[in-house]
Amino acid sequence: MSQTSEFDGEFDGEFDGETWRAQRGSEARENPRSRMITALEAEILKQGMLRADVRDVLGMPERSEQRADVYILGAPPFSIDYEEYVIWYDAKDRLVRFYRQGG
């Protein structure tokens, strides 16, 4: 028997830019962004991509530093900590790496 959440199915394995952008500033523990990461990494994010192009797809991040953008992913089951998705850029604002952290 498997457990499901309200986000299983519709967003599982698919990236939807409109849904991702609509979650900006959300404090929801079950954030649909979390289910989009596999597709985001496989289909959208590419090494060398310009920061402006990433933001065109993902919208503005919850936090931004000189060379990194941070998007909130909600909290995984059985965790009190929220996860974040971090995207790093080089000095020319080109994507160099991305990863999920926390939780």
Looking at residue 77, its pLDDT comes to 80
Give the closest residue to 7 by CA, choosing from 67, 57, 77, 56: 77
Average pLDDT over residues 19-27: 95
Count CB neighbours of 92 within 10 A.
Answer: 9
Average pLDDT over residues 55-77: 95
Domain 17-102 classified CATH 2.60.40.3950?
no
Q: Is pLDDT at 43 greater than 80 in this prediction?
A: yes
Pairwise pLDDT comparison (12 vs 57), residue with the higher score: 57
Q: Is pLDDT at 37 greater than 60 in this prediction?
A: yes
Provide the percentage of residues in the chain whose pLDDT is more than 70. Answer: 87
Reported pTM: 0.85
Q: Which residues of 53-75 are buried (b: 16+ CB within 10 A; e: fewer)?
A: ebeeebbebeeeeeebbebbbbb
Coil, strand or helix: which one is 50?
strand
Residue 50: HSE in the Cβ half-sphere, 13 Å Cα cutoff: 3
Give the closest residue to 68 by CA, choosing from 94, 31, 35: 94
Give the closest residue to 85 by CA, choosing from 48, 68, 94: 68
List the chain domain ranges: 17-102
